[in-house]
Amino acid sequence: MNLNDILSLSGLLLATAAFGAGFVDAIVGGGGLLQIPALFSVFPKEIPATLFGINKVSAVGGTFVAATQYIQKVSLPKKLMAFAGSFAFIGSIIGAWTVTQISPDFIRKLLPLILLFLLFFTLRNKGFGLSHQHQTQDRKSLLIVAFGSLGIGFYDGFFGPGTGAFFMFLFVRFLGFDFLHGAAATKIVNCISNLAALALFIPTGHIHWKVALGMMFFNILGGLIGSRVALKGGSGLVRIFFIVVVLTLTLKTANDSYHLLDFIR
């Protein structure tokens, strides 16, 4: 992506989408809602695998930078994070392979209902994610994070939308993190699961590196700003972003699966 590309309408769309995705991803996840539609709009004839590969390269940059920002300010339990990252990586690899064997259509239709549950649970529990509990890292916690990360990592490799929200819910609901610590943990584990997916995309050549690296630059800028906003605003702000992103994901995936807005056409 050279200067002429950036100044063009298509380049501006991709740059804006990448920046917005990095910003949102750094706080709670869901940046794919911005990047993937923008890529399909600019490259309508490109095969989906190539666009997903570009999205992953861009997202890895922003997620990695956001993770480093959080690590400097937020203390996380090392053993839990090692388990989460390892099992998410394994799950993502298995999920990416599985999607080459079977269709993810059944997940597509189930996803809005799962997201709706996350939304109602968060809204009903007013104090959810606003206090941070001491992490014991006992056998029960390690098993929860291992199986949870394996399942969510599998989902990330197999389908993807909402992965950040699921990791956030895992850390906050089942491990006692507040939303700020949950955001930090989510960025680290999501970055690892993205790298696992890239391990499959890169050897198959499903990436336009010029576009991907250009978008990564703007994704990193968004990630830097987003992580600083989250660190300054604390768990209360991250909770608000979580609710907004999950609501948006619910509406988007419900419309994609059940064509709720077809009557407008």
Question: Which DSSP letter does residue 138 get?
Answer: -
Those residues whose C-beta lies under 8 Å from the C-beta of residue 243, and which sit 6 or more positions away, are 119, 122, 123
Mean pLDDT in runs of 10 for the chain (265 residues)?
A: 61 93 91 87 84 88 93 92 96 84 81 91 87 81 95 87 89 92 93 86 80 95 96 94 91 83 57
What is the span of the domain harbouring residue 232? 3-264
What is the per-residue pLDDT for 3? 47
Q: Nearest-CA neighbor of 159 among 203, 200, 197?
A: 197
Q: Which two tokens stand for residue 249?
A: 């994901």
What is the per-residue pLDDT for 168? 93
What is the per-residue pLDDT for 262? 62
How many domains does the chain divide into? 1
Q: Rounded distance, CA 18 to CA 257, Å?
A: 25
What is the per-residue pLDDT for 241? 92
What's the one-letter identity of residue 35?
Q
What is the per-residue pLDDT for 203? 81
Question: How far out from the chain centre does Cα 162 lie?
Answer: 6
Structure pTM? 0.87
What is the per-residue pLDDT for 265? 52
Question: Which DSSP letter does residue 174 get?
Answer: I
